[in-house]
Amino acid sequence: MDVAATLHAPSSRSSERPGAHVDLALEGMTCAACAARIEKTLNRVPGVAAGVNFATGSASVDYDPREVDVHTLIAAVTRAGYGARVRRDEAAERDLESAQREAAWRSLRRDLAVAIVLTAPLLVQMALMFVPGATRGELLPRMLQLALATPVQFVIGRRFYTGAWRALRGGGANMDVLIALGTSIAWLWSALVTLLGMHDEHVYFEASAAIVTLVLLGKALEARARAGTSAAIEGLLKLAPRAAHVERDGREVDVPLDQVVRGDRFVVRAGEAIPVDGVVLEGHAATDESMLTGEARPVVKAAGDKVYAGTTDVDGRLRCEATGVGGATLLAGIVRLVGEAQGSKAPIQRLADRVSGIFVPVVVAIALVTFVATWFLAGDLTPAIVNAVAVLVIACPCALGLATPTAIIVGTGRGAQLGVLIRNAVALENAGRLTTLVIDKTGTVTEGTPEVTNVHVLAGRSSDDVLATAAALEQGALHPLAQAIVARARERELALPPVLDFSVIPGQGACGTLGTDSALAGSLAFLASRGVDVEPARVAHLVAPGESLVGVARAGRLVGVVALADRVRDTSRAAVAELIREGVDVVMLSGDNGATVDAIARDVGIAHAQGAMTPDAKVEAIRRRQRAGEVVGMVGDGINDAPALAAADVSFAIGAGSAIAIEAADVTIVRNDLRAVADAIRLSRATRRKIRQNLFFAFAYNVLGIPLAALGFLNPVIAGAAMAISSVSVVGNALTLRRFRLR
């Protein structure tokens, strides 16, 4: 199974949704209220379902092309006061976003430097007021204060007026409205006092300038911190080399990566990164695949083995044929999948979205009430202005908007580095809530490459005849047991009889017509359901611990049984033990016979196991547990696991499994190791903890800060500093997920 092709292909889940899909890059957003405004505007367009992610600056839009087109969507965003464009391919988009971030960072850094220089004298004067013995008079003439504060307010702070105008023009309000309104009131009052010569009144030039400067400082710190949230994906993109050593016209030439095509023969030398996905034709080398799997142990490659773009040839020379290039590599599939996950929303974010949507109007109302009440009670206009400005400044909803998406971006990115590919934020959240994990046996707990150990003859036929009959029926099936039977028949060089009316029943067996006889091969339960006497008493003594049986019948009579064994993975026992330590009830459900399933379950430490399970029976078992209130996960790797994977609350597909299983799953485990499922659960729980911590601090900050500001306990300058710190602390807390390690 080609994992790269599966990950690169468009999701079947997306195709199930009616209409078309487009991702938009958004411009002009400054806080969560902006994101809420754009999302509401898009969802008002008929035939549109949209979600906006403030942290990634993007909108994911599903729409009905019969009712609306992309130009209409962009126009709707423009009317709301923001900019939008269609996102291009990932590489070009990331290059553009990187250039835009760098240009924005240079502009922000320049403005911040000027603001600090102009604001510093004002802050020094304010600080001296708190020094014992220092003069209580104003060190700077008020006209000089006006001259210093005005460019900070209207030149450096122009971005806030621009953002506020866009939001108000679109019928909404955002953080820029709060900052522009608060600082303008402070500056306007101070300017009037200065120009009218009202020497008895205090001026607040230092407050307006300091707030603008502190908000810019917070944005600068936040921008640098948020740049780190995508470090995992940026690191993955840098793994692939710029060129490949390709054989052209009998010579080895260096070809730019975008010119390599499928079928090209290329060479990788020791110490070089592998440029594209391929299959080894000649050579022998150890490769470092830790960027895909999280495992540092080298993987030996020889003729016939697959190699992947971005992995490293450690110690040998390999000659390969390209099988996946450009966007069809496993690395590109990982980047695409993680990008989709980072742009999705977790259910826990809904509360924050609802709050952000109404937050700014409520804060403006609180500031007005504060102004009127303070003026009425104190009888003085000055404290009324100060308290109202403090309320407007401290109530910035940035921390609330960043709380969830930053944690999701860092968590999914870290998962990709460790070989855990999470499809969306819902899967990330649900994985941490699991109470029960249902696992398949073959290819999950076991190696998935069973071998025929014996052929038992039951009705006057030779073992070769029984094996040839089974192989003839199973050669069209993809199940590992079927492939093992076909492989053994080929080893013996048996002639397989032609099969007519062939059909496969996933997870059960195959049937057809051989000559004049109807023939069946599959589980004993499958044969029994077709009216075959499977002679349970006679067959029971043939089963050794850990063996699976495939019954073979002709003309309605059991003629033999093929015994197969599949070795338990070396890591399965440790994986089950780790899952149990995480408080997850592990259950094994398999289509294999009960004796084999029970033997393997006991071997790896699973207390609850059941064999002879059809795909439908697995689905019903999962739904029964869900009805009992359990959050159920499913791990599988085969076509027959796809229905159960789809039914589970969160599903995991082992990377070596079938394309259908991976497509049906919420989480793909790149390395073939059940321990990675435990890692995914731990990562999910760590991410959920960060989200809850971030939301708590964001809510607590506003719940405590707004009343303190309204009651006059917070100076506007202190409020501005606290607002900046809150956003930076939320992003910084999310970034600690980058230290998540495998056990």
User: pLDDT tens-digit profile of 596-638?
Assistant: 788 889 889 999 998 878 777 888 999 999 999 999 998 876 5
Token pair of 645, please? Answer: 């994977």
Q: Tokens 């290039």, residue?
A: 325
Q: Is residue 378 part of a domain?
A: no
Question: Per-residue pLDDT for 204 more than 80?
Answer: no
Residue finishing a domain among 307, 328, 349: 328
593 in the same domain as 541: no
Least confident of 440-454, 523-537, 654-668: 654-668
- Longest Cα–Cα distance of the chain, Å, equals 117
Same domain membership, residue 316 and residue 283: yes
In this structure, are residues 148 and 205 in contact, taking their beta carbons and an 8 Å threshold? Answer: yes
- CA-nearest of 470, 505, 461 to 490 is 470
Neighbours of 518 (CB within 10 A): 14
Over residues 180-202, the mean pLDDT reads: 80
Q: Look at 135 and 676; give whichever has higher pLDDT.
A: 676
Q: What is the DSSP string of 135-178?
A: --S-SS-HHHHHHHHHHIIIIITHHHHHHHHHHHHTT---HHHH
Unique residue bearing structure tokens 């104190």: 378
Q: How confident is the model at residue 16 (pLDDT cuts 50, 70, 90)?
A: very low
Q: How far apart are CA 405 and CA 541, in angstroms?
A: 58
List CB contacts of 618: < 8 A, sequence separation 6 or more: 438, 589, 634, 641, 643, 644
Residue of higher predicted confidence among 134 and 505: 505
Q: How confident is the model at residue 570 (pLDDT cuts 50, 70, 90)?
A: confident
Joined tokens for residue 225: 């911190």
Residue 57's φ and ψ, nearest 5 degrees, are 65, 40
User: Tokens 């993109």 identify what position?
Assistant: 237
What pLDDT band is residue 551 in, cutting at 50, 70 and 90? very high
Q: How far is the C-alpha of 604 from the C-alpha of 588, rounded, in Å?
A: 11
In a domain, 346, yes or no: no
pLDDT at 353 over 70: no
Give, for 456, the enclosing helix (H) or strand (E): strand 451-457
* Residue 229 reports pLDDT greater than 60: no
Last residue of a domain, one of 657, 686, 715: 686
Burial 361-372 (b: 16+ CB within 10 A, else e): eebbebbeebbe
> What is the predicted pLDDT for the residue at 1?
46
Q: Can you tell me whether residue 274 is helix, strand or coil?
A: coil
Kindly tell me if the per-residue pLDDT of 536 is higher than 70. yes
* CATH code assigned at 434: 3.40.50.1000
> What tokens appear for 83 in the block?
């900019």
Same domain, 497 and 574: no
How many domains does the chain divide into? 3
Q: Looking at the domain assignment, is residue 429 inside a domain?
A: yes
360 part of a folded domain: no
Q: Is residue 700 part of a domain?
A: no
Tell me what the mean pLDDT of segment 57-61 comes to. Answer: 84
Residues 582 and 669 in one domain: yes
Range name among 42-46, 147-151, 339-343, 733-737 with the lowest pLDDT average:
339-343
The three-class DSSP label of residue 392 is helix
What is the band of 403 on the pLDDT scale with cuts at 50, 70, 90? confident
- pLDDT tops 80 at residue 726: no
Residue 169 lies in a domain: no
**CATH number of 526's domain:** 3.40.1110.10
Beta partners for 521? 510, 552
One domain, residues 578 and 681:
yes
Mean pLDDT calculated for residue range 18-25: 79
- First-to-last C-alpha distance (Å) of the chain: 28
CA 307 vs. chain centroid, Å, equals 24
206 contact partners, CB below 8 Å, separation of at least 6? 119, 122, 123, 125, 126, 145, 149, 717
Q: Are residues 557 and 577 in the same domain?
A: no
In a domain, 32, yes or no: no
pLDDT greater at residue 87 or residue 349: 87
Q: Give me the helices (H) in 344-379, please.
A: 349-378
Query: 517-522 and 312-313: which strand pairing?
Result: unpaired
Among 568-577, 684-693, 721-730, the range scoring the smallest mean pLDDT is: 721-730
Within 10 Å of residue 305's Cβ, how many Cβ atoms?
Answer: 16
488 and 433 within one domain = no
How many C-beta neighbours within 10 Å does residue 622 have?
A: 26
Distance, in Å, from the CA atom of 339 to the CA atom of 57, rounded to the nearest integer, reads: 12
Q: Residue 129 and residue 139: Cα distance in Å, rounded?
A: 10
**Residues 455 and 560 occupy one common structural domain:** yes
pLDDT higher than threshold 70 for residue 125: no
**What local confidence, expressed as pLDDT, does residue 170 receive?**
66
Q: Centre a 10 Å sphere on the Cβ of residue 65 and count the other Cβ atoms it contains.
A: 11
The pLDDT of residue 661 = 47
* Domain co-membership, 665 together with 518: no
Q: Is 185 helix (H, G, I), strand (E, B) or coil?
A: helix
SS3 9: coil
Write the CB contacts of 251 (distance below 8 Å, at least 6 apart in sequence): none
Which residues have CB under 8 Å from 250's CB, separation 6+? Answer: none
Query: Last residue of a domain, which of 291, 312, 328?
Result: 328
Nearest partner of 157 among 217, 97, 101, judged by Cα: 217
Q: Residue type for 426, please? A: V
Cα separation, 538 vs 189, in Å, equals 99
Distance of CA 309 to the CA centre of its chain: 21
Q: Are 47 and 72 in contact (CB under 8 A)?
A: no
Query: Which of 116-120, 186-190, 447-451 shows the lowest per-residue confidence on average (mean pLDDT)?
Result: 447-451
What distance in Å separates the CA atoms of residue 734 and residue 669, rounded to the nearest whole number?
A: 23
Q: How far is residue 242's CA from residue 251's CA, in Å, rounded to a whole number?
A: 19
**Which are the catalytic amino acids?**
440
Least confident range from 238-242, 325-329, 359-363, 609-613: namely: 238-242
For residue 325, report the phi and psi dihedrals to the nearest 5 degrees. -130, 165
The better pLDDT of the pair 660, 636 is held by 636
CB 572 within 8 A of CB 445: yes
Cβ-based neighbours of 122, under 8 Å, separated by 6 or more: 140, 145, 148, 149, 205, 206, 209, 210
Question: What is the separation of C-alpha 690 from the centre of its chain, rounded to a whole number of angstroms?
Answer: 15
648, 427 in Cβ contact below 8 A? no
Amino acid at 33: A
| For residue 4, pLDDT beyond 70 | no
| Residues 674 and 638 occupy one common structural domain | yes
Question: What does the DSSP assignment read for 179-203?
Answer: HHHHHHHHHHHHHHHHHTT-TTS--
Average pLDDT of the chain, as a whole number: 80
Minimum mean pLDDT range among 225-234, 580-589, 710-719: 225-234
Confidence grade of residue 348 (pLDDT, cut at 50, 70, 90): low
* Tokens representing residue 384 in the block: 């009324």
Q: Is the pLDDT of residue 131 over 60?
A: no
pLDDT tens for residues 159-168?
A: 888 888 877 7
Q: How confident is the model at residue 9 (pLDDT cuts 50, 70, 90)?
A: very low
- Do residues 559 and 618 share a domain? no
Number of CB atoms found within 10 A of residue 498's CB: 10
HSE toward the beta carbon, residue 95, CA cutoff 13 A: 6
CA separation for the pair 453, 546 (Å, rounded): 11
Q: pLDDT value at position 503?
A: 87
Q: Edge-to-edge strand order for the sheet containing 48-53?
A: 48-53, 58-63, 20-27, 83-86
pLDDT at 81: 82
Query: In 3D, which of 56, 692, 584 has the Cα closest to residue 347?
Result: 692
- Residue 349 in domain: no
- Specify the CATH number for the domain of residue 290: 2.70.150.10
Determine the distance from the C-alpha atom of residue 387 to the mean position of all C-alpha atoms in its chain, rounded to a whole number: 42
Q: Which residue has the higher pLDDT, 70 or 396?
A: 70
pLDDT of 14 over the 60 cut:
no
Tokens found for residue 704: 């405590």
Q: Do 129 and 136 touch, CB atoms closer than 8 A?
A: yes
Domain of residue 582 covers 425-446+568-686
Examine the domain organization and report whether 513 and 487 are in the same domain. Answer: yes
Q: How far apart are the C-alpha atoms of 502 and 519, rounded to whole Å?
A: 10
